[in-house]
Amino acid sequence: MKNLAKFLLFVLVVSAGISLLYDYRLKHGGLKLPSGRTPEKYTLASEPSVDSKQVASLEALNRERRALIKSVVPSVVAVKTSKKIGVRREYGLDPFEFFFPNQRRSRNPNDEALVQNSLGSGVIVTNEGHIITNNHVVTDRGGNPVDQIEVQLSDGRTQKARLIGADDQVDVAVLKIDDPGVKPLKLADSDMVQPGDFVLAIGNPLGFEETVTDGIISSKGRPNRSDFFADLLQTNAAINPGNSGGPLVNLRGEVIGINTVIASTTGGSQGLGFAIPSNTVRMSLESLLKQGRIIRGYLGIQTRPLQPGQNSTDSEGVVVDGVMPGSPAAQAQLQPGDVIRKFNDHEVTNIRALRSMVAQTELNKNVELEVLREGKPLKVTTQIKEQPVDYQTTGVLPRGNQPQAQNPRQPSDEEKASSPLASIRVDELTPEMASQLDLPANVRGVLVASVDPDSGAAELQKGDVIEEINQQPVTSVSDYNKIAASLDPSQPQVLSVCRHRIRSFLVLRPR
């Protein structure tokens, strides 16, 4: 035992000596690294540059933001879809891969079909497992449902989801998974949202799951080109492809909107994101769950904006151009030329506001309209009815009931030359052409036939559909010419454009 103890003591002394010698040579530059380079002397900072007491409020904000994100992320899902597509192959070339190299498609080994995959986002909104996403996430470019839908939960589990129903006018779809342990988020009252409110956008942009970006509500009441019944919330929270269908949440972790579209010249985020307000989403959700289909109220009128000084001291209100026989408007004895100022005590600021209020009104409910008739105020009452299946959502009356319109004035050659859109040639959008281009059924606008490549409108492409110019609907070439001729060439113009099944805003700036 004594010999063993002496041996162990000897080993310890030798080890200590070697360690001391190594430290000495290291400090005095005598030790060389395998590469021949002498190790650098360094000292890491041991104290933060700012005392935490000086930024206590920011530290508290950090903790609160972490708590908010931790509470909402488990309710957000990735929506993965697949669609089998039959293609005609010649000489071994898949035409889809030629024209759309960035889309993911895989070959089914059992046949000659290809499988197209896509990715979006969604949010759980009921204890029963109902999920809100965008309709365009679960349909192909022709508006047809995909073959298979899967959702991936935040814990990594993947489940099959079934499509309960969709509202293509609002771009909302309702999915369902069978999972009793889901955590839903509450749908807030989006009418209470104000510009400047703090928001988080959560989703799967470009396939990066559970991505959180923050920002504020930039504006509200932005026109939605695919939805004639509700406007959009605008946010500067970064939204990119793949965020579609994900939630926009407030400080309380409530859903105030469903992210749906971006305005971009590059295809990526430029701080111009748009979300469907939660009140509009709730209307579609409850209609689908309670009735099994989308039910909207309607008034049965054709309208046009009120011009300043027309039967009024200001420009707020909507002018009745025509009344559909047997409609709620006919029951109220509305007449062409009437100016609708209020709907159930709510100010009617424009056509979209009126459509939204009418569409979201409970069916068979009595409503009061305040109108101006030949400059005199008048109150009428009617009962909102369900919108007929064949009633155009644009408010166009059936043939034979449309008021006779005067021949529109054609712009002069000088007006065309000075217009910022003079470099664009457009044609009427026919049903045949819309079908050929696989456009959504609710697209209304003019078809871009050609664009001068040297103009400021070069980002437009042949085959694009211009639906609006500066929030003014474009339904014909005549509309387009009149609006284009009235534009100030020194100001930027905002176009609402549909390309295939993707809708976006395009800003044309003066050159």
Residues 283 and 321 in one domain: no
171: annotated active-site residue:
yes
pLDDT of residue 454: 62
The count of domains in the chain is 4
pLDDT of residue 30: 56
Q: Which residue stretches of 234-294 are H helix?
A: 278-291
Distance CA 384, CA 389 (A): 15
Task: Categorize the per-residue pLDDT at 23 as very low, low, confident or very high, splitting at 50, 70 and 90.
Answer: low
211 belongs to a structural domain: yes
Please say whether the beta carbons of 249 and 491 come within 8 A: no
Residues 241 and 165 in one domain: no
Residues 236 and 168 in one domain: no
The CATH number that applies at residue 168 is: 2.40.10.10
pTM of the model: 0.63
pLDDT at residue 395 is higher than 50? no
* Last residue of one domain, picked from the residues 291, 308, 323: 291
Residues 194 and 287 in one domain: yes
pLDDT of residue 410: 42
Counting DSSP H helices and E strands in the chain, the numbers are: 9, 28
31 belongs to a structural domain: no
pLDDT of residue 39: 82
pLDDT of residue 438: 73
Q: Considering only 14-18, 33-37, 217-221, 261-265, which range has the smallest mean pLDDT? A: 33-37
Average confidence (pLDDT) over 1-24: 71
pLDDT at residue 240 is higher than 60? yes
Distance CA 393, CA 403 (A): 18
**118 phi, psi to nearest 5 deg:** -145, 165
Residues 284 and 198 in one domain: yes
Please say whether the beta carbons of 272 and 505 come within 8 A: yes
Domain that holds residue 485: 413-508
pLDDT of residue 255: 97
41 belongs to a structural domain: no
Amino acid at 279: N
Residue tagged active-site, from 244, 264, 284, 327? 244
Q: Considering only 57-66, 175-184, 359-368, 408-417, which range has the smallest mean pLDDT? A: 408-417
Distance CA 364, CA 229 (A): 19
Write the burial class of residue 88 (CB in 10 Å: 0-12 exposed, 13-18 middle, 19+ buried): exposed
* Last residue of one domain, picked from the residues 386, 402, 431: 386
Residue tagged active-site, from 82, 118, 121, 136? 136
Residues 198 and 227 in one domain: yes
Average confidence (pLDDT) over 479-486: 82
pLDDT of residue 347: 87
Residues 360 and 427 in one domain: no
Residues 172 and 215 in one domain: no
pLDDT of residue 417: 41
Q: Is the dihedral of CA 381, 387, 392, 394 positive or negative?
A: positive
pLDDT of residue 349: 80
pLDDT of residue 227: 40
Task: Give CA torsion, residues 452, 506, 101, 98, to 10 deg.
Answer: -30
Q: Is the dihedral of CA 68, 70, 75, 77 positive or negative?
A: positive
Residues 268 and 326 in one domain: no
pLDDT of residue 418: 45
Reference 261, options 421, 422, 119, 137; nearest CA is 137
465 belongs to a structural domain: yes
62 belongs to a structural domain: no
pLDDT of residue 212: 95
Residues 114 and 147 in one domain: yes
94: annotated active-site residue:
no
Please report the beta strands in 134-279, taking only residues with DSSP state E, as ranges in sequence order. 148-152, 158-160, 162-167, 172-176, 198-203, 211-222, 232-235, 247-249, 255-262, 273-277
Please say whether the beta carbons of 262 and 504 come within 8 A: yes
Task: Categorize the per-residue pLDDT at 262 as very low, low, confident or very high, splitting at 50, 70 and 90.
Answer: confident
Average confidence (pLDDT) over 232-244: 91
pLDDT of residue 21: 67
Contacts of 180 (CB under 8 A, 6+ apart): 129
| Buried/exposed code over 36-59 (b: 16+ C-beta within 10 A; e: otherwise) | eeeeeeeeeeeeeeeeeeeeeeee
Mean pLDDT of the chain: 79
Distance CA 491, CA 193 (A): 30
pLDDT of residue 31: 55
Contacts of 466 (CB under 8 A, 6+ apart): 424, 426, 445, 446, 448, 460, 474, 480, 495, 496, 497
The CATH number that applies at residue 424 is: 2.30.42.10
23 belongs to a structural domain: no
Number of Cβ atoms within 10 Å of the Cβ of 255: 28
pLDDT tens digits for range 100-131: 333 444 555 555 556 667 789 999 999 999 99
pLDDT of residue 4: 67
Average confidence (pLDDT) over 220-237: 71
pLDDT of residue 291: 84
Residues 282 and 323 in one domain: no
pLDDT tens digits for range 143-154: 778 889 999 999
70 belongs to a structural domain: no
312 belongs to a structural domain: yes
pLDDT tens digits for range 430-464: 887 887 777 777 788 999 888 876 666 667 788 88
Task: Categorize the per-residue pLDDT at 159 as very low, low, confident or very high, splitting at 50, 70 and 90.
Answer: very high
- How many angstroms separate the Cα of 208 from the Cα of each of 45, 203, 262? 34, 8, 18
Residues 208 and 277 in one domain: yes
* Last residue of one domain, picked from the residues 291, 316, 350: 291
SS3 141: coil
Residue tagged active-site, from 75, 118, 130, 171? 171
